[in-house]
Amino acid sequence: MTLAIFDLDNTLLRGDSDHAWGEFLVSKDVVDGDTYRTANDRYYAQYVAGTLDIHEFLAFSLKPLARHDRATLDAWHREFMDARVRPMITPAARALVESHRAREHTLLIVTATNRFVTAPIAAEFGIPHLIATEPEERDGRYTGRVAGVPSYRDGKVTRLETWLAANDETLADSWFYSDSHNDLPLLNLVDHPVAVNPDAQLRAEAQRRGWRILQLD
C-alpha cells in the first residue's frame, strides 16, 4: 500500500513541538527557567543549522522526564496539547492528512522528537503509525536515556527501513513531506518528495531538483 510519510515539526505543525515542550516546562517552573531556556534555544538553533549533536541534545531534553512519574507527565502533556500544540495545527495540515486518508494511503509520522511528546500529537491527527526517538523506560518510568537509534537525519532512514521490514511495506509510490534539510536522506528515497514550508537549504534543493514546494501556513 502507498505510504504517506510526514515529518511533524514545522511540517504538520506550525512550530516545533520539542522546543515548545521545553518552553512549557519553563512556564510550569518544572525546570530552571533561564538556564533551560538558553540551552533549549541553543539546541534548536543547532538543529536549524544542521549541526546538532543529537545525543547531547537528548541527554538534555529527556532528563526532565526521568524526574517525574508518568501520571504527572501525562497530566502535563494534556495541558501542553491544549495550550501549545493544537494552536499549531492548521486546517491546511489537517486537510493534507485527510487527502491521503481518502486515498487509503498508509499514514506514518517520522520525527526526531521523542515519542512521549509526539504520540498524542499523532493521535490528534488520527495517524496510526509513528516512528519517533524512543525514551528508555524501566519499571514504568523514564530513565532520561534514549533507547535505540534516534530518528534523526540518517537515523530516520535506519528506523524507517526497520519499520518497513516489520510491516511488510515498501517505498514504492511513497510520499514524504518535510520542512528541513536535515531530512534530505529520506526525501531522496521516496517517489514523491514534498518540501513543506521549507528552510532555505531545502527550498534551494527542491527548486534545483523540481520537487513540489507546499506552504501549509
Q: Are 22 and 41 in contact (CB under 8 A)?
A: no
State the SS3 of the chain: CCEEEECHHHHHECCCHHHHHHHHHHHCCCCCHHHHHHHHHHHHHHHHHCCCCHHHHHHHHCHHHHCCCHHHHHHHHHHHHHHHHHHHECHHHHHHHHHHHHCCCEEEEEEEEEHHHHHHHHHHHCCCEEEEEEEEEECCEEEEEEECCCCCCHHHHHHHHHHHHHCCCCCCCCEEEECCHHHHHHHCCCCEEEEECCCHHHHHHHHHHCCEEECCC
Of the residues 7, 18, 179, 199, only one is catalytic, namely 7
Please say if 154 is a catalytic residue: no
Of the residues 9, 179, 183, 199, only one is catalytic, namely 9
Please say if 9 is a catalytic residue: yes
What whole-number distance in Å separates Cα of residue 57 and Cα of residue 192? 31
| Residues assigned a catalytic role | 7, 9
